[in-house]
Amino acid sequence: MNICFLLGGFTSNGGIGRVTSILANTLCNDDKYRVYSLSYFNNGRDNLYNLDKKVQQNFLFEDPLNMAKGILRGGILKLRKYFKKNNIDVVIACGALYFPIVVLSCKGLKTKCICWEHSNAQNSKDHSFQSFCRWVGAKNSDLVVTLTKHDKQNYIDKYHIKNVKQIYNPIDEEIFNYAHQYNINSKKLLSVGRLSYPKNFGMLIDIAKEVLVENPDWTWDIYGEGALKDELENKIKEYGLEKRITLKGQVNNLYSLYNEYSLLIMTSRYEGFPMTLLEGIAQGLPLISFDVLTGPNEIIEHCINGYLIKPFDTDQMISSTNYLINNSEKRREMSENSKVKCGDFKLSEIIVQWKQLIDAL
């Protein structure tokens, strides 16, 4: 069976590239499947997430361009030719942006189309026409896959469809290679994500200001790159916290660094299914997150392995963070519970669900 993943690519720090690489690498090691990855365009950068040599990696376009221009430049015809040439049985559109071009390219072909949602059906802020893209995908694909149970119901209610399955993102098996005993003596806080509007790091810095004033021997590191980097750096300077809050940029060895931290904190405005929180529980970190749509409340069990905070209650976020900073035994207890919770997202279980879904098509 020939399976193709169509996505933006693997060159930037983000959940779609990360989880697609995990899934593609696992499927290609089963002789039943031949796996292709088709990035929308080639930006000339190296992959941040490694692909197995058995995964055939190609680009739809050799130069960067937006989706509208890509369709006008014959993107649908190019994609149809690619499917025919490689005898693609199942194509998986990774993210709503790619739903229309994929479903239109499959018309009249034997290629089955899966639309894999990586945000949630109620979010329309990632790109123009996001809601329209979802509608096209929901109404014309063979199957929609959502990341959470909540979003599966969103699709059913919003688009009145039945062809929806829910599969969690898996925890990368590689991360378990770096698992250590919880560092109870760490005085460092951790946040991870693109420096962009959805991740809400401006509010995080406001929260950090209050937390770090109360805890002068603690620091806060933020990993990721993005368009808001300069704005966030200026805010850190405005608060005089250059030595307390550090933008660490994008790194390739993040898994090996988790043990340096005491808590993982997320302030996103919305999510699909946050890989950051998955990585946190795999490393046994206590978690604190706003209870936004969708994902955090299917990873965090409130008061068990972390805290879910009402969006966007900064006072409660500050007080919960201060409480855990000053209660090492509660952090140790939450760490142990996080290690138990990560069993729900093991790759060995998730890959079985994907194989069953693909084979059924």
Q: At what angle do helices 229-238 and 201-214 cross, to 10 degrees?
A: 30
Local structure of 3: helix, strand or coil: strand
How much is the pTM? 0.84
Q: Tell me: do 145 and 20 sit in the same domain.
A: yes
* Nearest to 222, CA basis, from 253, 244, 238: 244
**250-301 pLDDT per residue, tens:** 887 788 899 999 999 999 999 888 888 988 998 899 999 999 988 899 999 9
d(CA 118, CA 126): 11
Which pLDDT band, with edges at 50, 70 and 90, does 165 fall under?
A: very high
* Averaged pLDDT score across all residues of the chain: 93
Q: Tell me: do 124 and 97 sit in the same domain.
A: yes
Q: Tell me: do 191 and 290 sit in the same domain.
A: yes
Q: Does residue 177 surpass a pLDDT of 70?
A: no
d(CA 54, CA 190): 35
Q: Tell me: do 191 and 325 sit in the same domain.
A: yes
Q: Does residue 355 surpass a pLDDT of 80?
A: yes
- Total domains in the chain come to 2
* Nearest to 226, CA basis, from 254, 251, 249: 249
Q: Tell me: do 117 and 94 sit in the same domain.
A: yes
**29-43 pLDDT per residue, tens:** 999 999 999 999 998
pLDDT of residue 13: 64
User: Please, where are the H alpha helices in the chain?
Assistant: 15-27, 67-72, 75-85, 99-106, 130-140, 149-159, 173-176, 201-214, 229-238, 275-282, 314-325, 328-341, 347-360
Q: Tell me: do 78 and 207 sit in the same domain.
A: no
Dihedral sign, Cα of residue 265, residue 268, residue 270, residue 273:
negative
Q: Tell me: do 28 and 141 sit in the same domain.
A: yes
Q: Tell me: do 12 and 136 sit in the same domain.
A: yes
Cβ atoms of residues 97 and 128 within 8 Å: no
Q: Tell me: do 195 and 313 sit in the same domain.
A: yes
Q: Tell me: do 238 and 151 sit in the same domain.
A: no
CATH of the domain at 274: 3.40.50.2000
124 compared with 170, residue with greater pLDDT: 170
Q: Does residue 174 surpass a pLDDT of 80?
A: no
Q: Tell me: do 132 and 241 sit in the same domain.
A: no
Dihedral sign, Cα of residue 8, residue 13, residue 19, residue 25:
positive
- Residue 119: give the domain boundaries: 2-170+346-360
Cβ atoms of residues 265 and 288 within 8 Å: yes
Phi, psi of 28 (to 5 degrees): -70, -15
Q: Quote the DSSP letter at residue 50.
A: -
Q: Tell me: do 132 and 144 sit in the same domain.
A: yes
Q: Does residue 186 surpass a pLDDT of 80?
A: yes
**CB contact set of 221 (below 8 Å; sequence gap of 6+):** 188, 189, 190, 191, 245, 246, 248, 261
Q: Does residue 14 surpass a pLDDT of 80?
A: no
